[in-house]
Amino acid sequence: MTPSLRALLVTLSLAVSVSSESCPSGWVAFRDSCYYRSTYTIEWETANEICAAIQPAARQPSVHDLVTDAFIAETLLGGDRAWLGLSRVDGVWSWSDGSADDWHYWYCDQPGATGDACVITNYAGTGKWATYRCDDPHYFVCQVHAANVTATAV
């Protein structure tokens, strides 16, 4: 899919998003969730801890379709790569929020044999995924469903 078509899909999806007033300051509304993009890099395990510290119900995002992938890759990250909530334990991939592992957008030859956590990239506007070691530093994204936003969170 071309980058311009992906951008159009994201724009159309924004029309049915939750309002930005439903999200904490500094978070971006998309569909039924609010998203936060970090300004610093950390290892994979720490990302969920920080997401929950910022907003109690927040986790690294689970991605179940191309439109959400495009939103994260293009709107939030703009070319940077960041951790997703997808990791491999004993050869099985699962999302940190417990949602179904029902869609993937891996680069060619991915997932790799090394690295047990997933990073979304935006090389050439693709938003495809690759595996990295959990202790590699990358940016991270947090996702919280708008209905679960806590007003008193940091």
> Is pLDDT above 50 for 110?
yes
Sign of CA dihedral 150, 140, 46, 119: positive
pLDDT attached to residue 20: 63
What does the pLDDT average to over 61-77? Answer: 94
| Residue 61 located in a structural domain | yes
pLDDT attached to residue 9: 56
Nearest partner of 47 among 138, 122, 133, judged by Cα: 138
pLDDT attached to residue 121: 87
| Residue 154 located in a structural domain | no
What does the pLDDT average to over 25-38? Answer: 95
> Is pLDDT above 90 for 39?
yes
- Segments forming the whole domain that contains residue 55: 3-148
Provide, rounded to the nearest whole percent, the portion of the chain with pLDDT above 70. Answer: 84
Burial of 36 (0-12, 13-18, 19+ CB in 10 A): buried
How many separate domains does the chain show? 1
| Residue 153 located in a structural domain | no
**Distance, CA of 55 to CA of 36 (rounded, Å):** 10
| Residue 101 located in a structural domain | yes
| Residue 38 located in a structural domain | yes
Given pLDDT bands bounded at 50, 70 and 90, which one contains residue 154?
Answer: very low
**Distance, CA of 146 to CA of 34 (rounded, Å):** 6
**Distance, CA of 84 to CA of 96 (rounded, Å):** 9
Residue with tokens 């311009």: 4
Give the range among 55-59, 63-67, 119-123, 137-141 with minimum mean pLDDT.
Answer: 119-123
Query: In this structure, what CATH number is given to the domain that contains residue 24?
Result: 3.10.100.10
| Residue 57 located in a structural domain | yes
